[in-house]
C-alpha cells in the first residue's frame, strides 16, 4: 500500500462518524465478519460477507468508495497472485484437465480451489477494512492497553506507524526531485537501464539517511520530554452502542443461516 493510500485510510478513520464508537464493538463486528468469511461456505457466505462489509463501510460509516478502492488495491493484487499460484497444478495432469503443458495443468478442481481462495480472501479483507477505515491506529493501541499488552511494544508500534508517514513523505519528495531533474527520463537503451539503477540506488540512499535522521530527532525529542516507559494519549470519550452490537449479531446470524440453507 502506498503512502497516499495509507494517508487516505488514516484520514478516513479519523473523520469517520464511527470513531466515537467503542473500539471493542468495532473489533467484534470486524472479527465476526472475518471468521464468517473464513469458515462459512464459499457460496453464498463470502458474497454475503463482502456485501455486508461494503454496506457497513460505505453506508453506515460513510467512507468514500474511492478511499475503499484505494485501500483494497494492494490486497487485491496479492489475492490475484495467490489465486494464480493455486490455479496451476504441478505434476501429472488429471484426466479432466482443460490445459496442460509439461508438469503444469489447469482443470476444474484447481479452478474451483483458486476461486474459493480468492473469494474467502477478498471477503475477509473487506471485513478487516471495517475496522481499518473506522478506527485510527492510536485508538486501537490505546484499547490494547486494557489487555495488559506491554507498554514498550505499544510504544514501538505507535512510533513505527508514525514514521511510516514520514517515510512516505520523504519518498515522495525524493522521487519528485528526481523527476524535476529529468532523472526518470534517461536516453538510450543501455544508458537508460544504467541510469535507472543509479537513480534507484540514489533514492534508496537518500530516503534511508533522511529516515534515520528523522527517527534520531524523534528519539531525542521524546527523551527531552521525559518519555521513559509509555507514550500515553488522551482517550476519546465513547458511548456504548447497543444498536451496533445488535446489528452485528443479526447480520452474522443471517449470513450463517442463509449460507447453511443454500449449502444443503
pLDDT at 2 over 70: no
Q: What is the pLDDT of residue 233?
A: 65
Distance, in Å, from the CA atom of 16 to the CA atom of 182, rounded to the nearest integer, reads 40
Nine cell digits for residue 25: 464493538
pLDDT band at 1 (very low <50, low <70, confident <90, very high): very low
Q: What is the mean pLDDT of the chain?
A: 83
Distance, in Å, from the CA atom of 30 to the CA atom of 123, rounded to the nearest integer, reads 11
> DSSP secondary structure string, 35-102?
HHHHHS-IIIIIHHHHHHHHIIIIIIS---HHHHHHHHHHHHHHHHHHHHHHHSEESSPPTT-SEEET
Q: Given phi > 0 = left and psi -120 to 50 = alpha, else beta, which region is 102?
A: left
> Per residue in 20-33, pLDDT tens?
888 889 999 999 99
100 phi and psi, to 5 degrees?
Answer: -155, 150
Distance, in Å, from the CA atom of 199 to the CA atom of 149, rounded to the nearest integer, reads 42
Nine cell digits for residue 132: 481499518
Query: Nearest Cα to 72, choosing from 88, 58, 86?
Result: 58
Residue 224: enclosing H or E segment and its boundaries?
helix 189-224
Distances (CA, A) of 81 to 18, 68, 86, 118, 122: 33, 20, 9, 9, 13
Distances (CA, A) of 264 to 47, 51, 230: 17, 22, 53
Rounded to the nearest angstrom, the gap between the alpha carbon of residue 125 and the centroid of all alpha carbons in its chain is: 7
For the chain, the domains span: 3-94+102-135+238-263, 150-224
pLDDT band at 3 (very low <50, low <70, confident <90, very high): very low
Q: What is the pLDDT of residue 4?
A: 46
Helices 242-263 and 47-54 cross at an angle (nearest 10°) of 160
- pTM strictly above 0.85: no
Helix, strand, coil share (%) of the chain residues, nearest 5:
75, 5, 20
Q: What is the pLDDT of residue 239?
A: 75
Q: What is the pLDDT of residue 185?
A: 61
Tell me which of 198 and 72 has the higher pLDDT: 72
pLDDT at 159 over 90: no
pLDDT at 10 over 60: yes
Amino acid at each position: 500500500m502506498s503512502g497516499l493510500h495509507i494517508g487516505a485510510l488514516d484520514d478516513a478513520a479519523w473523520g469517520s462518524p464511527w470513531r466515537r464508537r467503542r473500539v471493542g464493538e468495532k473489533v467484534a463486528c470486524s472479527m465476526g465478519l472475518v471468521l464468517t468469511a473464513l469458515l462459512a461456505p464459499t457460496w453464498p457466505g463470502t458474497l454475503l460477507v463482502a456485501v455486508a462489509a461494503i454496506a457497513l463501510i460505505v453506508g453506515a460509516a460513510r467512507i468514500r468508495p474511492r478511499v475503499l478502492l484505494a485501500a483494497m488495491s494492494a490486497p487485491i493484487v496479492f489475492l490475484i497472485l495467490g489465486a494464480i499460484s493455486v490455479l496451476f497444478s504441478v505434476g501429472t495432469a488429471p484426466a479432466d484437465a482443460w490445459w496442460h503443458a509439461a508438469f503444469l495443468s489447469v482443470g476444474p478442481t484447481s479452478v474451483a480451489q483458486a476461486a474459493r481462495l480468492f473469494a474467502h480472501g477478498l471477503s475477509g479483507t473487506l471485513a478487516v477494512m471495517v475496522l481499518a477505515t473506522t478506527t485510527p491506529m492510536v485508538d486501537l493501541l490505546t484499547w490494547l492497553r486494557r489487555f495488559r499488552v506491554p507498554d514498550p511494544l505499544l510504544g514501538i508500534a505507535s512510533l513505527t506507524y508514525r514514521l511510516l508517514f514520514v517515510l512516505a513523505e520523504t519518498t515522495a519528495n525524493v522521487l519528485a526531485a528526481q523527476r524535476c531533474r529529468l532523472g526518470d527520463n534517461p536516453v538510450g537503451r543501455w544508458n537508460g537501464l544504467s541510469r535507472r539503477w543509479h537513480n534507484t540506488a540514489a533514492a534508496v540512499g537518500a530516503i534511508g539517511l533522511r529516515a534515520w535522521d528523522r527517527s534520531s530527532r524523534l528519539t531525542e525529542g521524546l527523551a527531552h520530554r521525559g518519555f521513559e516507559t509509555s507514550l500515553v494519549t488522551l482517550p476519546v470519550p465513547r458511548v456504548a452502542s447497543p444498536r451496533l452490537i445488535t446489528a452485528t449479531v443479526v447480520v452474522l446470524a443471517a449470513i450463517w443461516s442463509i449460507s447453511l440453507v443454500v449449502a444443503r
